[in-house]
Amino acid sequence: MKILLLIMAGLVGVVSTLLAGNSLPYYTIYGMLRDEGGLSFATGEAFVVVRNSAGKEITRAPCDSSDGLGINYVVEIPIDSGISGPYYKVESMRKGETFSVRIDTGAGLLVPSAKGVTSFTVGGSTDTARIDFVLGADRNNDGIPDDWERAYLLAAGKDPNGTLNPDEDFDSDGFTNIQEFVAGTDPTDPRSTLRLEIVNIENGYAELQFEAVSGCTYCISSSMNLKDWAPQRFALKPEATSLADKIIATDYQTLSVFAPVSPSTKTIFFRLHVY
């Protein structure tokens, strides 16, 4: 996965002899924000707010599912050079400072965590860090909210105060519990899993079908030999001229996409990805 960040290489109009500190390029954090049920936040559903150790808001950015595959937020934190004295900008931070994140959904600020971690350290200017957040308590710091684990343990007749190890496969369907959390499937039901089927090949298109979960983003890759995989663009309607590289489900539904297939292709494999 490549993330391209456009960063200002220089500064304009800064007179260093008059200022104790200098504004530098940003320290950037990015990743995926999910709710208590594992669903990623859609564009405009929330803001990711960065606060310094004193609780002052430094900056914020809206969730945006177009930021990239497997990413729904990017926040640029203004960096001060820390030469001496006061900050160049009040709303800035210095390398090594600690910060926290809050999620503003319009109904108050919520505290997310990254495998139980809620305090982070600012890196250098132009540095980037991936931080995947979830909402809800995570007492065993495994990246899965406690309420999600309790709900499925209770439904399976197990102790709701137990845990679902993220690396184990509770229902023996070939997917770990953390994979089911991300995919929005039931970790206690082997029938609830991520599957991709080729239902038809016609007019130069392979119709691919899968059960989609609302809020999840899906993309497809293809291979001729099961070793070398490449992103596979697809049409959302049969024989459509425009192709997409992803689709965001807006409901719990069966989705069909149409991948172009060359008449000369003898064997091709498809793989479904969910974010």
Residues 34 and 121 in one domain: yes
Residue 120, number of CB atoms within 10 A of its CB: 16
Residues 170 and 244 in one domain: no
Domain count, the chain: 3
CB under 8 Å to 54, separation ≥6 — which residues? Answer: none
Q: Give the percent of the chain with pLDDT over 90.
A: 60
Could you give the C-alpha distances from 40 to 35, 118, 250, 260, 275, in angstroms and in order?
6, 19, 12, 29, 8
Amino acid identity, residue 96? G
46 and 103 in contact (C-beta within 8 Å)? yes
| Domain-located, residue 39 | yes
Residues 118 and 158 in one domain: no
Closest CA to 100 of 83, 81, 119, 74: 119
pLDDT in tens, 120-131: 999 988 999 999
Residues 173 and 229 in one domain: no
| Domain-located, residue 93 | yes
Residues 63 and 20 in one domain: yes
CATH for 75: 2.60.40
| Domain-located, residue 92 | yes
Residues 257 and 228 in one domain: yes
Question: What's the domain range around 22?
Answer: 16-135
Instruction: Name the pairing type of β-strands 109-110 and 98-104.
Output: antiparallel
pLDDT (tens digit, 0 to 9) for every residue of the chain, 275 residues total?
333 333 333 333 333 333 445 667 899 999 999 998 888 898 999 999 999 999 999 999 999 988 778 899 999 999 987 766 676 677 899 999 999 999 999 988 999 999 989 999 999 889 999 999 999 888 888 889 999 999 999 988 888 888 889 999 999 999 999 999 999 999 999 999 999 999 999 889 999 999 999 888 899 999 999 999 999 999 998 877 899 999 988 888 999 999 999 888 889 999 999 98
| Domain-located, residue 145 | no
Residues 33 and 81 in one domain: yes
Sequence-ordered alpha helix ranges (H) in the chain: 146-155, 177-183
pLDDT at 238: 84
pLDDT at 200: 92
Residues 26 and 126 in one domain: yes
Closest CA to 134 of 39, 232, 24: 39
Residues 78 and 129 in one domain: yes
Residues 204 and 178 in one domain: no
Residues 172 and 116 in one domain: no
pLDDT in tens, 98-137: 999 999 999 889 999 999 899 999 998 899 999 999 998 8
Residues 165 and 215 in one domain: no
pLDDT at 87: 66
| Domain-located, residue 191 | no
